[in-house]
Amino acid sequence: MEILFDSIQQVLAGYLWPLFRIASMLMVMAIFGASTTPTRVRLLLAVAITVAVAPVLPPMPKMELLSLESVFITAQQLLIGSAMGFVTLLLMQTFVLTGQIIGMQTSLGFASMVDPASGQQTPVVGNFFLVLTTLIFLSVDGHLVLIRMLVASFNTIPVSIHGINIASYRSLAEWGSYMFGAALTMSISAIVALLTVNLAFGVMTRASPQLNIFSIGFPVAMIGGLLILWLTLGPIMAHFDDVWHAAQVLLCDVAQLQCKLDGGF
């Protein structure tokens, strides 16, 4: 009877611990972790992926599932999955931040709506960039790349009491500075263009004080902002490639994978 109980525990461990890692990634990652995605759909997807990949995973550690050490192992799986899913959130927020900067500079920031990912009020331009980035992310199979990396992480970071090292956590935190830098790089042209427009209005006001700058400046600035926004969408794919490459490098660092030199997996 004791042998049968140990066998049942080993079978359950082979599915439960991978499920925790996979479910935590889906809970945090962009698109699938959004509040608009039903919890049941997310849970069924995690179970389906676990059932599909569990037979090819390395053997799980043999221990009691209700022990204290098992609790620590479960916590490590949650941290690993959450860290990998969090990278996609940083990827999406880079473009959301770009849209917010452009929206505030082009006088379009007053229009806001509910962000489907976070449920908070954000400028419409930021939501537009979020939807655009989401479509690009799905079109390049970014979600499939992330799932492949997560499955491969079971070989580099096996299920045990040890998880992601401190250096990887530091790299994950430092990527926040890259997010702000990339957003500023994508929006700097719009900032300079709008600054030029405002300087032109300042010269006009100085040269002809009779002009009502408040009545003509706002519509012109908005029309110019829409034109600048249209021009900004041209190189959006090149910017996405750069940010996605950096995100893949970070994912390889977090999952301790041997990736290609170009960041691909």
> pLDDT tens digits for 169-188?
888 888 888 888 888 888 88
5 burial (CB, 10 Å; 0-12 / 13-18 / 19+) is exposed
Higher-scoring residue by pLDDT: 66, 42: 42
Mean pLDDT along residues 37-50? 87
The DSSP H or E segment spanning 241 is helix 236-255
Question: According to the per-residue pLDDT averaged within each range, which of 1-10, 79-88, 255-264 is highest?
Answer: 79-88
Domain segments of the chain as ranges: 2-255
pTM for this prediction: 0.80
Residue 261 reports pLDDT greater than 60:
no
Which residues, in sequence order, are CB contacts of 224 under 8 Å at separation 6+? 106, 193, 194, 197
Residue 61 corresponds to which tokens in the numbers above?
């550690």
Mean pLDDT along residues 243-257? 87
Mean pLDDT along residues 32-51? 85
Length of the chain: 265
Of the pLDDT bands very low, low, confident and very high (cuts 50, 70, 90), residue 112 is: low
